[in-house]
Structure 1
């Protein structure tokens, strides 16, 4: 007990020293904030046209924000960076687009008092913030969304993504909500919020705001700063960290939406326009929800501000199961090749293609989006609905021939499979999946169980390739046996001609030939075929 208090003091001193070291890493204004940075920063964070937010004290030193109906300018940004004022941005522009996506990770209100007063507790919660932030960065990187982390200046972290030109706010929200759903619930002490909070904002509204980066937090009294993604330490050159961060082009954003669509995300269609006179929020403090009763409105029905084309590039190579399936089934290859060339499919053809590929779990679903994105009229939501309608048992060859009889005849659809008892013929056999009504196929998105040829358990997945390999090996071995027996017979017959001529060489009009080496002794079961009875009167 006597040692507990000194130990705690040492821990508090260490936490305070680390905080002081972080502060020391921050460049004082105006170092690093040149004119190029100011122009780019102002343009990127301008937000809603003709308005920005200004922070003010709202009692008990709790900050609030009020709208200032004037555009954000470089001079205002310079004052914000100097700590002379605190500014915020309303992310959703008047055409319901936004340059910005922001994930806001904060310490929840019940834990804020201890966070502010206790350096040791603050250190613990910061570790939680960094661990949770790392999870988001990893998830975002996996789908190709570059995020720039920022220490908010008080009790949380912001993670920024940028697009130029701006993209519909509803599409930013598709991306953000999909990532947060994949992330799952944070620790009990933390909470996530996503900005923009609205798909659309009425013409007389503002939407929610977020405090601009790199200023002094009005409550924490500390400068916010962009962080290095690998260490969560303040970037030594704040301007360089911002200027070097990737900005999504329309093509890159379309590919991002395509990747999410292929993984099952719903790319929201525009909602119906809100009734005339729908109220909008005057202002909202960043990090607090819009007041209850506010109904977001969609852009005017006669205009969709920015058309974002969902793009799912078709790669040069595909997962082995996909390539084996298409190489083995000429009918499916024909359908896939037609779509890849920009052609269209009939409903029956699309049905067959989706029902065959959807059985290959995530590889099949992603390939369907990659492929169908090449055809006119691609709708990622419609593709996902079709995938979700596929029953557990893969489509069989017999059903494909009944559904597409002319194409089956045209492409020579007549594969023959040697299958375990209880299985039925399907193109999926080429990919190592042996379907059967009484066999449990893997759950979508899950892994495959080990191969088992008993007919009572699943026969699928990577280990299911043994069926394909063994079938081919046995066929090749049988062919080699037949060829070896034929070669032996031909050698005997050719050498018999040399025996009859009494010479080891023969010359014809087409060339000269030498006697062949004597064949090795034949196996007992080959004697009859390789050494047929000689004609009467021939030499023994």
Structure 2
């Protein structure tokens, strides 16, 4: 039978050599399926099919050969070439890996595998299987100066990505096949290992799940499926276009998160596309975190057809049950693409100093984040708006205290705040903030915002609201320019404070306003001097305002102007204006 098959093969080749392709095809279609139990014969039929442009029939022949001999190296290589030629890079890679595991010295297979990796943008894996090519093509470039990694940088990283108590993994590439794999290390994550990761010497993967099944961070993945990469592998410009669309989409997701007041942080992750990270104040059960991600995806904008949005979970199903899985940590080098992973700004560009950015990352209670997403189910869609808004007490405080409103606007616009300005916000807005979320939102855009330090400051905060007198002494140039002239009901000995506008019960009685005849001379003198200074300052401000009012009243020809509760009246006495306040 084998000899007969060889005769048919020779006959078909002769027809092909003579240009009789129709006759050659007829022989192939008639006799190729009746070959003996010999993988070599089926490989020869497959080669002939390829020469005749019969890719489907060639595939069938290769499959028969591999069924008889799964380790046939010639068949594996040629079948990989066939898949490569028709654009099925993933299948080509799979057969080449199988071949190279048997014979790492197969140069043609190694070169073809490198070309496949390069075609779908996996430069790191291409270099792993062909390091000599990397050395031969290396050129002199600008020198790289690694950044100093400080103790605070490492502590911030470890705190953000804390998970499994004992155990982490290192991403590595098989030098023979370029296959990514994870090497488990049964040790706690330490400063030395994190430093190597941040410097690009190793690539860390963490296990988010602790022994009590809780996690403290989560992420969503935005990526192009491999089938799409294969389809458009020869149209690199289109893949670049898809990559930019993915970038825009992950930024859109971050914008959506902002509209529901959930802090999120987009990251570009080499060949794997993009990720959107969430960080929580406490460890919560991973099923609740899974529900949060599901809720987020349900309400978030839909992705385009050529890329997918999916949750990155700490476990994966294995048919019966689940198994824990690790997640590549940010700021390292993605070994597959050999590109660094960076967190992104609102415009899609990487932050210039990623270490400083880590200190700005804001955590949120999981229950709060989930509640905000669930509020979108109702007809009100409470949180969906594109303007920055705060809880009602803070909004009312801003509308009634121009100094506080000025400082908040200065902070959210990204300007640097002086220490005195931060103190004022802490002892006004910070005291209205039940969970600390608002003060973090206010200070987050400032260049020197640090989540941990801000949280620590909130924890040490005394429950005494700042007084208006103190504000004027700390920022006199601002209070003078924004007309800081609030009026309060000070009955009960309360001191003037912005919080009297919204929560007067929080303002205690001031000892400065409780004067007894028996106070010592020194204390009486100091109080008198302190209050007199502020009275003089208010007089100067009032004089400037009277000049402004005089100009407006004269131009409009009016003698009084009413607000909601009080009207300003101009009276003439001996040729000079006298200003009086009257209740409406």
TM-score (normalizing by structure 1): 0.40
TM-score (normalizing by structure 2): 0.37
Q: Which has the higher helix share?
A: 2
